[in-house]
Structure 1
Amino acid sequence: MQQWFPLWQQLQHYDLKSDLKGDLNAALIVAIMLIPQGMAYAMLAGLPPVMGLYASTVPLFIYALMGTSRQLAVGPVAMVSLLIFTGVSGLAEPGSAEYISYVILLALMTGVIQLLLGVLKLGVITKFISHAVISGFTSAAAIVIGFSQLNHLLGMDLGDSKNVFVIAGTVVARFTEIDPLTLSLGVGGMLILIVAKKKIPKIPAPLFVVVLAIGLVQVFNLHDQGVRIVGDIPGGLPGITVPDVSVDTMLILIPTALTIAIIGFVESYAMAKVISTKEKYPISADAELRALGAANVGAGFFSGFPVTGGFSRSAVNYESGARTGMASVFTGLFIVLTLLFFTSWFYYLPRAILAAIILVAVYGLIDFKEAKHLFQVKKVDGITLIVTFMATLVIGIEMGILIGILFSLGVFIYRSAKPHMAELGYVKGMDDYLNIERFPEAETFDDVLMIRIDAPIYFANMAYIEEHLRERMIEHSHLKHVVIDFSGVNDMDAVALDEFDEWLDYHRSEGVHFYFVLVRGPVRDLFARYGWTDAHHDEFCYHSVQEALTDLKKIG
């Protein structure tokens, strides 16, 4: 019971005085923040704004019940909304009934994928996506999101292209078609949001901007002067929806569903982990996958779209005093009240203001510092970030993340195929055998090669290891002994063992003696199963380079 529904355990220790106060306070602030954001992100996804409110009800209740994070604020987020628009807009006209049906099916598919990953305890697969890939993808996606909102911000039709370079060219070519009134509203809203965030962060700036803009439109009849407004928003709660399941459509949507399932979870889990570390309580990656999966299934059956945990709202939820998952339950209830009684209040809301909210929110996703940091620390990781960033901008969202993942895995394979190997020498002042490249004063011996391998050995890097050993052996013209430090080798595969065995036999026949130092337990077990321990027992019993050197002196 508690494994699948952690909220039950939280309620058993619920303090009606402190916990309830903190949860209610956080819920009200997050709901005030979520209402305009949810509508804006629905618009970004090519959906009616009310669907952003639908996606902020049932999914919140489900996640609160099943999630292990007590402060994560689940709901619509910009990244997922962009992935929805990118993956579905090629199938149907955004905003149409067919398009909405596809998005609802996508939510259901995303949820099922996450549920399966969680049930099968495969949350670990998301760790194969490097931080450099996520950072590059996120930064590029933020730029794509920003450009996708220019039509609303500028009050002009920029066509259907999703390519930022095409959009930029269109804006330049049709600069005179920009609506000054719409642009002024949007820019003014952005400035208020930015200033309020820096100077008075405690006020709900998005809601303030929304109320101000609605008042300006009504008082000055700006909707009759070219400013596009949201218009009618249906009131009432969402009904149960059963998406039209088609095998052909599901096959087309699978890449998008997989991308949303993994990227959404990575974003959500990262934030949940940060908060849980601060609050010193455990969270489970697999339980989080199950909770998000169930929340997305709920979104699919109640007219919503895919959701995940958001960075900014989760931070606000935490900082505002949320103590348990009940904060999310209360947030959902506040959204329900809005759907029942207050949707008509948003009729005159300018679309430019929703665009402004999106633009200010996604600007923080562009991480210049991380790119600089990666290039300083590990250049290849910086290159991975840039490759992912450029691929996402030039080729597209889904292919961009795929190219980034493949590139990072390729880099890993390339690096593991050329493992670090160090020739050792005796450093008198430290009384140790260390890398001669780092310690040029280290003493070496013409008849003895001492070398350390710092990586697992497998079929792909065995040829490189053999070649490197051969080159070092040639440099020692009177070579009689080779001492191999295996302290950095924690695994070998059968193919590498076969090749290494042949290589050792050849050089033994040439009169070269081998000594293996600090062989780890798992590798020693492999040697035993392979028969090396019985055949060459004396070669594998050394616990230090010095011990091996002492023994080889007896051989001469």
Structure 2
Amino acid sequence: MTHLKRFLPVLDWGKHYDRATATSDLVAAIVVTIMLIPQSLAYALLAGLPAEVGLYASILPLVAYAIFGTSRALAVGPVAVVSLMTASAVGEFARQGTPEYLGAAIVLAFLSGLVLIVMGVLRLGFLANLLSHPVISGFITASGLLIAASQLKHVFGIPANGHTLYEILLSLGRQLDDLSWITLCLGASTTAFLFWVRKGLKQRLLGLGFKPFSADLLTKAGPVGAVAVTTLLSATLDLSERGVRVVGDIPSGLPMPQIPPFDSELWLALAGPALLISVIGFVESVSVAQTLAAKKRQRIDPDQELIGLGASNIASAVSGGYPVTGGFARSVVNFDAGAATPAAGAFTAVGIAFATLFLTPLLTYLPQATLAATIIVAVLSLVDFGAVKRTFIYSKSDFAAMAATILVTLLFGVEAGVITGVSLSIALHLYRNSRPHMAIVGIVPGTEHFRNVERHNVVTGDRVLTIRVDESLFFANTRFLEDRIHALVAERPDIEHVVLMCPAVNEIDASALESLEEINHRLSDAGVCFHLSEVKGPVMDRLQRTDFLDHLSGQVFLSQYDALSELDPLSAHISESRTPKKRAQSNVWAGPEI
């Protein structure tokens, strides 16, 4: 039963489900449904798909996640970044508005689902760690700018295209003569209204005496209000006859289950984009889920999240939708509204299904400019230039990766941006680990502590060279370790002992073991003994399974103080002879060790 609960978390939280929990979930579902209806329509258009496809992608995926997901607050559905990536990927194989385009989007969702499920079964949730936060932040910032730019054509009422920022702006500039002033007024006013709703409506309502829940609900319903008002204006004034583009007829009814069309060439061509969408969607989703879970001292299982998201994408494909993932904004709303279990998502699915059955005829005259305004306001909240500044101040290498991701995404498109981000994340990780920090250390007078000679006033002798390595030893950094030790020894002709201090070494792989053997051999030829100190238990266990310790020219010491006391008693005695006052003056903290 426990094994089954791992793959079906609903069996765990479902047995404790009661009326109070159901009430909390139902209230959260109402709030999220109000928010999700205009978002689903807008994101479908962003993906180049009919508006109703966004609704289809917001029904069965929520039910599937409620069964297989582990987050109590994550709300799954169409999101801006994945919608943009879908348009970019599918646009290579079919023209928007054709059955082939929709079929390719469905295949993309199905393939993404398969990729995520396979990753979950293989327990590959840790792969999310390969994408550094600065790279993810840079990609999302660039995607937000790209998405907002792509929606300007709907706000201006002009035809435009392009997958990069340069192409989009160039296309817009060429079409400005065809600008529709009515559409611009409608789109600009709606955008301004939605920004005001997001920034100031809640505080205004609280100031008028509204209760927090009511004020929050009305704020979240702002986009629905914009849809209702602009649709009414469009229908009353017959704006579609004056050049304002509207959504048009949206089919009523629920989608019939279907099997994604099988075309081996198309499936192979979409496999790469499906993998990229899966990775980005999972990283975004699991980041949100972990943040919200921590607030209630809950936990999520990243491997099971892969399965939950995979099932959601397959459910989306079966119901005629496109790739989905956990959305940041709607998940936060779901959490704040009191969602207690994933059942809130299932209730939201019921609300979306009701809207699909009965409300779609009311959206015929909905201006596309309104949906564009909804997207622009939503995605610009993802743009975080402050993170760019903070990263620049803190780490120049992380900033370089972040800036490169932003520029590549803006200039060459989202797929190139994703590949650049993943490649830079892995490259930075390998680079940093290939050059571990190594410090020559000495003993702090009057203590048994050892610190960096460049940062502290410490005692060192002429006979013993102690080198502390602050990283595990593996194939990527062994050559650096060898070169550094031999260079330091070459600079000190009086050295008789080299001690490699290993308090931060959690692992020594086979390549590193060979390097240690080579270091030991070369130092022995030079008449220098090679020692280890403060080796961790698991690392020592592995060393003892080899003959390395039998050939070691020196010893393995439990502590560095033991090593100094035996190899250089004079330095240890000098340290002990310092007065407490002298020690206090010489051991002033000089900042963190680097």
Q: CA deviation at 1:538?
A: 5.5
Q: CA deviation at 1:222?
A: 1.2
Q: Are residue 552 (structure 1) and residue 567 (structure 2) matched?
A: yes
Indicate the residue corresponding to 2:10 in structure 1: 7
Residues in 2 aligned to 1:375 and 1:14: alpha-carbon distance in whole angstroms: 48
Q: CA deviation at 1:530?
A: 2.6
Query: Aligned to 2:94, which of 92, 97, 100?
Result: 92
Give 3-state SS (helix, strand or coil) of 1:547's partner: helix
Structure 1 residue runs of 4+, over 4 Å off?
A: 553-556
Normalising by structure 2, we get a TM-score of 0.89
C-alpha contact 2:123 2:303 (8 A) present in aligned 1: yes
- Give the residue type in structure 1 aligned to 2:239: L
User: What are the within-5 Å matches in structure 2 for residues 364-403 of structure 1?
Assistant: 364-403=381-420
CA-atom RMSD in angstroms: 1.9
User: What are the within-5 Å matches in structure 2 for residues 342-381 of structure 1?
Assistant: 342-381=359-398
Give 3-state SS (helix, strand or coil) of 1:292's partner: helix
Q: Are residue 175 (structure 1) and residue 176 (structure 2) matched?
A: yes
- Give the residue type in structure 1 aligned to 2:547: G
Q: Are residue 221 (structure 1) and residue 224 (structure 2) matched?
A: no
Indicate the residue corresponding to 1:109 in structure 2: 111
- Deviations for 1:228-258, whole angstroms, at most 9, x for unmatched residues? 0011000011012222111110111011111
Indicate the residue corresponding to 1:205 in structure 2: 222
Residues in 2 aligned to 1:528 and 1:25: alpha-carbon distance in whole angstroms: 61
Residues in 2 aligned to 1:89 and 1:187: alpha-carbon distance in whole angstroms: 28
Give 3-state SS (helix, strand or coil) of 2:531's partner: strand
Give 3-state SS (helix, strand or coil) of 2:476's partner: helix
Give 3-state SS (helix, strand or coil) of 2:189's partner: helix
Q: CA deviation at 1:401?
A: 1.2
Q: CA deviation at 1:174?
A: 3.6
Residues in 2 aligned to 1:411 and 1:310: alpha-carbon distance in whole angstroms: 28
CA separation of 1:527/1:20 partners in 2, compared to 1, >3 Å: closer, same or farther? closer
C-alpha contact 1:24 1:327 (8 A) present in aligned 2: yes
CA separation of 1:467/1:120 partners in 2, compared to 1, >3 Å: closer, same or farther? closer
- Structure 2 segments unaligned to the other structure (5+ residues): 203-215, 572-594
CA separation of 1:444/1:242 partners in 2, compared to 1, >3 Å: closer, same or farther? same
Residues in 1 aligned to 2:148 and 2:17: alpha-carbon distance in whole angstroms: 42
Residues in 2 aligned to 1:335 and 1:480: alpha-carbon distance in whole angstroms: 77
Q: Are residue 187 (structure 1) and residue 165 (structure 2) matched?
A: no
- Give the residue type in structure 2 aligned to 1:481: H
* Higher deviation after alignment, 183-192 or 18-27: 18-27
Q: CA deviation at 1:529?
A: 2.7
Indicate the residue corresponding to 2:140 in structure 1: 138
* Higher deviation after alignment, 493-502 or 334-343: 493-502
Indicate the residue corresponding to 2:31 in structure 1: 29
- Deviations for 1:40-92, whole angstroms, at most 9, x for unmatched residues? 00000000001111111111111112211122111111111101000001111
- Structure 1 segments unaligned to the other structure (5+ residues): none
Give 3-state SS (helix, strand or coil) of 2:477's partner: helix
Indicate the residue corresponding to 2:70 in structure 1: 68
C-alpha contact 1:447 1:477 (8 A) present in aligned 2: no
- Deviations for 1:431-470, whole angstroms, at most 9, x for unmatched residues? 532110111x322222221211112223332222222212
* Higher deviation after alignment, 349-358 or 211-220: 211-220
> Percent identity of the aligned residues?
39
CA separation of 1:506/1:26 partners in 2, compared to 1, >3 Å: closer, same or farther? closer
- Give the residue type in structure 2 aligned to 1:188: S
Residues in 1 aligned to 2:357 and 2:234: alpha-carbon distance in whole angstroms: 24
Q: Are residue 262 (structure 1) and residue 279 (structure 2) matched?
A: yes
CA separation of 1:462/1:24 partners in 2, compared to 1, >3 Å: closer, same or farther? closer
* Higher deviation after alignment, 353-362 or 407-416: 407-416
Indicate the residue corresponding to 2:581 in structure 1: none
Q: CA deviation at 1:517?
A: 1.0
Indicate the residue corresponding to 2:464 in structure 1: 448
- Deviations for 1:244-297, whole angstroms, at most 9, x for unmatched residues? 111110111011111111111111111111121112223211221111111111
- Deviations for 1:475-502, whole angstroms, at most 9, x for unmatched residues? 3232222222122222223233223323
Q: Are residue 492 (structure 1) and residue 508 (structure 2) matched?
A: yes
User: Number of aligned pairs?
Assistant: 552
C-alpha contact 1:68 1:283 (8 A) present in aligned 2: yes
- Deviations for 1:392-437, whole angstroms, at most 9, x for unmatched residues? 1112211211112112211222222221111112321555321101
CA separation of 1:460/1:327 partners in 2, compared to 1, >3 Å: closer, same or farther? closer
Q: CA deviation at 1:553?
A: 4.5
Q: CA deviation at 1:217?
A: 0.8
CA separation of 1:418/1:353 partners in 2, compared to 1, >3 Å: closer, same or farther? same
Q: Are residue 527 (structure 1) and residue 543 (structure 2) matched?
A: yes
Indicate the residue corresponding to 1:302 in structure 2: 319
- Give the residue type in structure 2 aligned to 1:494: A
CA separation of 1:319/1:475 partners in 2, compared to 1, >3 Å: closer, same or farther? same
- Give the residue type in structure 1 aligned to 2:452: N
C-alpha contact 2:468 2:502 (8 A) present in aligned 1: yes
Q: CA deviation at 1:549?
A: 2.2
- Deviations for 1:289-343, whole angstroms, at most 9, x for unmatched residues? 1111111111111111111111111111111122222211111111111122121
- Deviations for 1:370-401, whole angstroms, at most 9, x for unmatched residues? 22222222221121111111111112211211
